[in-house]
Chains A and B, each alone.
Chain A
Amino acid sequence: MFGLIGHLTSLEHAQAVAQELGFPEYADQGLDFWCSAPPQIVDTIKVTSVTGQQIEGRYVESCFLPEMLAARRIKAATRKIVNAMAHAQKNGVDITALGGFSSIIFENFKLQQIKQVRNVTLEFQRFTTGNTHTAYIICRQVEQASEQLGINLSDAVVTVCGATGDIGSAVCRWLNARTDIKELCLVARNQERIQMLKEELGRGKAMSLEEALPQSDIVVWVASMPKGTEVNVETLKHPCLMIDGGYPKNLTSRFNHPDIFVLNGGIVEHSLDIDWRIMGIVNMDVPARQLFACFAESMLLEFEKWYTNFSWGRNQITLEKMDQIGKASIKHGFRPLLI
């Protein structure tokens, strides 16, 4: 059995969903309540591969909300993640993807130090960040959506914003080795890490966001846009492909122009309907078919019975692993979301 750990995008969203699911008692509650709320299994999922194989999964709502980070309720945020992991494990889930902010919180606050959660000893091999599949899908989106727009990769400047992160660095590795893009611009806050990445790739230009945007044909966003950043769309290239790999997806409204194409990044479409209701709640356009690639990774690991923390730690995603998960992705009927 596979599992997905997810969360809602805001307190307001959480309240609306509680109301919609028929829990008015929870719909009235503020952030304090969500800081104390236990994880819940809110959905049972059946997925059929194009090979005919069927698997079953559980969706664990961690009750984490992004406001917890903003309000510095960090301990609450970290408890949400380890509690949801313990809940999944206790319910016999073999492989669980840490969706949304879950894997970032796990990594950033070094939660691997917390092995004992009440009477559960966490077995980390049962969890995956899903980042390998996300990185793979974003790369395929770059390749295929650019073709849709008539952008020739060999003439294209590609900027990766958040280049030194787990997903960002994997995307850079792929673009460097598997495509003939003209130029790769690296945007990230930590200059030391950028330097290391440049050395690893043997190429790439470190740039500020302001500097990189006007020269880019394609921008891959795996970090959210810094607050207060104003971008004048007229200064961008036309056409320009923006792949929004952040969470929640919010770039569409920022780049409102007919020649700027914003594609939801790291999203896959399945060839067959998935029996669940949770993707409707997280506002996917086609809830029965579309899902986050990180979630799909746990499905793929379940289909292939690769019960291992396939994506784990930081900057460990290799091209071989991207190939491996990519093959499984195609085999079972997933494809990258395109324009």
Chain B
Amino acid sequence: MPQLEASPVINFQSEKYKDSYSRINAIVIEGELEANGNYKQLAERLPDHKDELLKLAKMENRHMKGFQACGRNLEVTPDMEFAREFFAQLHQNFQDAWAEGRIVTCLLIQSLIIETFAISAYNIYIPVADDFARKITEGVVKDEYMHLNFGEEWLKANFEASKAELEDANRQNLPLVWKMLNQVAKDAEVLGMEKEALVEDFMITYGEALANIGFSNREVMRLSAQGLSAV
């Protein structure tokens, strides 16, 4: 039986690490910022959940500040332009859906895809993070599960009416996640995060969310496979 090789020691101060960190850190900051904006917009359309959504928006803002502190701690300037470009298509899809009143699509993008993307990235990052970032990320990931839960609960309560739109939105947006993962795979690897572990974690959390909403196992497998069309 082959042996499990020990994880390599990471030098958080190396130029290579910091260079990759400048992009990954920026993505995380931008992701939290977009989430903050998205929840504020959703609060306008879902008046019954306004207070809850504004609370979520505030939490995202706090997360963003936490991750900015992580960058400063390593003396890294986040490459925000790269990050805005990274999220551009997903951002555009959210805004288009918003303009057309497709609230289910907005929830799929923010509450399922972005939250799951964040959760999986944070889960894989925590074991390889520097001490400062680990503490912050551990706190954040607990919140993110709560955020994912908001979207799940809403979509579950409105499952029959949302099902067809969810399938469309999944087909349109899931391949973007795969492209995004591919785009950062090298930088993530420098940080000690393996792409296959990221994809797996994403598939697990996303699949669980779809199942909680009401999709059958078979439907979940089919919906998850639609991401593969991007590879």
* Chain A interface residues (CB < 8 Å from chain B): 22-23, 25-26, 29, 32-33, 35-42, 69, 72, 74-76, 78-79, 83, 87, 90, 104, 108-109, 118-119
Contacts and interface: CB of A to CB of B under 8 A. Distances in A.
A75 B203 contact: no
B203 A23 contact: no
A40 B200 CA distance: 12
A38 B207 contact: yes
26 contacts: A23-B222, A23-B225, A25-B225, A25-B228, A26-B221, A32-B196, A33-B228, A35-B200, A36-B200, A38-B203, A38-B204, A38-B207, A38-B224, A39-B204, A42-B217, A69-B1, A72-B2, A74-B5, A75-B4, A75-B194, A75-B197, A76-B197, A79-B197, A90-B208, A104-B1, A118-B119
A301 B221 CA distance: 31
Contacts of A79: 197, 200
A39 to B, nearest CB: 7
Contacts of B204: 38-39, 83, 87, 118
Q: Which of B4, B201, B205 neighbours the largest number of chain A CB atoms within 10 Å of its CB?
A: B4
B197 A29 contact: no
Nearest to A63: B200
Given A23-B222, A76-B196, 17 more contacts: A22-B218, A23-B225, A26-B225, A32-B196, A35-B200, A36-B195, A36-B200, A36-B203, A37-B203, A38-B203, A38-B207, A39-B204, A69-B2, A74-B2, A74-B4, A90-B208, A118-B205
B123 interface: yes
Contacts of B87: none
A30 B225 CA distance: 14
A118 B217 contact: no
B228 A29 contact: yes
Contacts of B224: 38
Contacts of A83: 200, 204
B145 interface: yes
Interface of B: 1-5, 119, 123, 142, 145, 194-197, 199-201, 203-205, 207-208, 217-218, 221-222, 224-225, 228
A40 B199 contact: no
Contacts of B195: 36
B200 A38 contact: yes
A119 B145 contact: yes
A62 B4 CA distance: 19
B6 to A, nearest CB: 11
B128 to A, nearest CB: 12
B219 to A, nearest CB: 12
A81 B27 CA distance: 31
A119 B222 CA distance: 25
A23 B221 contact: yes
A301 B133 CA distance: 44
A22 B221 CA distance: 10
B155 to A, nearest CB: 19
A41 to B, nearest CB: 6
Nearest to A109: B4
A48 B161 CA distance: 39
B199 A36 contact: yes
Task: Select the residue from B207, B218, B221, B224 with max chain A CB neighbours within 10 A.
Answer: B221
B212 to A, nearest CB: 10
Contacts of A40: 217, 221
A78 B4 contact: yes
Contacts of B207: 38
B30 to A, nearest CB: 24
Give 8 nearest A-B pairs by CB, closest first: A25-B225, A36-B199, A38-B204, A38-B203, A36-B196, A36-B200, A35-B196, A74-B4
B4 A41 contact: no
Contacts of A76: 196-197
Contacts of B217: 40-42
Contacts of A87: 204
Contacts of A78: 4
A121 to B, nearest CB: 13
Contact of A37 (B1, B2, B200): B200
Contacts of A29: 228
Nearest to A43: B217
Contacts of B194: 75
Contacts of B203: 36-38
B43 to A, nearest CB: 26
A280 B24 CA distance: 46
A156 B4 CA distance: 41
A29 B196 CA distance: 14
A75 B205 CA distance: 19
Contacts of B145: 119
Nearest to A29: B228
A29 B227 CA distance: 13
B113 to A, nearest CB: 16
A290 to B, nearest CB: 25
Nearest to A119: B145
A104 B208 CA distance: 27
Contacts of B222: 23, 25
A39 B225 CA distance: 14
Nearest to B224: A38
A118 B123 contact: yes
Nearest to B205: A118
